[in-house]
Structure 1
Amino acid sequence: MSLVKYKAKRNFNETTEPVAGNPSTGKHIFVVQRHHATQLHYDFRLEIDGVLKSWAVPKGPSLNPSDKRLAMQVEDHPYDYKDFQGTIPEGNYGAGTVYIWDKGTFELMNPGNKSFDKEALLELKEGDLKVVLKGKKLKGEFALVHMKGRGENAWLLIKHKDKYATDEYNSEDYTPKRVKDAGLRYKEAEKKAATNRTKH
Structure 2
Amino acid sequence: MVQLHDARRLHYDVRLEVDGVLKSWAVPRGPSLDPTVKRLAVFTTDHELEYAGFEGVHPDSQYGSGAVIVWDAGVFTNLTRDKQHKPIPAAEAIENGHIKFRLHGIKLNGAWAFSKTGEDWLMVKVRDAEAAPDLDLTVSEPRSVLSGLTIEEMAASV
In the alignment of these two chains, the number of paired residues is 149
Q: CA deviation at 1:180?
A: 3.6
Which position in structure 1 is the counterpart of 2:10? 40
Q: Distance in 2 between matches of 1:170 and 1:88?
A: 25
Structure number with the bigger relative contact order (C-alpha 8 A, sep ≥ 6) is 2
- Alignment pair present for 1:157 and 2:127: no
Which of 111, 117, 133 is the matching residue for 1:167? 133
- Alignment pair present for 1:97 and 2:71: no
Structure 1 stretch displaced more, 165-174 or 59-68: 165-174
Q: TM-score, normalised by structure 2?
A: 0.85
Task: Kindly report the root-mean-square deviation, in angstroms, between the aligned alpha carbons of the 2 structures.
Answer: 2.1
Structure 1 letter corresponding to 2:38: K
Q: CA deviation at 1:181?
A: 2.6
SS of aligned partner of 2:22? strand
**Contact 1:97-1:182 within 8 A present in 2 as well:** no
Which position in structure 2 is the counterpart of 1:65? 35
- Alignment pair present for 1:107 and 2:77: yes
Q: Summarize the alignment of residues 1-200 of structure 1 with structure 2, pairs less than 5 Å apart.
A: 31-89=1-59, 91-93=60-62, 94-110=64-80, 119-148=89-118, 151=119, 154-168=120-134, 169-176=136-143, 178-182=149-153, 185=156
Q: Distance in 1 between matches of 2:105 and 2:71?
A: 10
Encode CA deviations 1:77-100: one digit per residue, 9 max, x unaligned.
0011111111112x3341111100
Greater share of strand residues, 1 or 2? Answer: 2
Q: TM-score, normalised by structure 1?
A: 0.68
Could you tell me the percent identity over the aligned residues? 38
**Contact 1:96-1:183 within 8 A present in 2 as well:** no
Structure 2 letter corresponding to 1:134: H
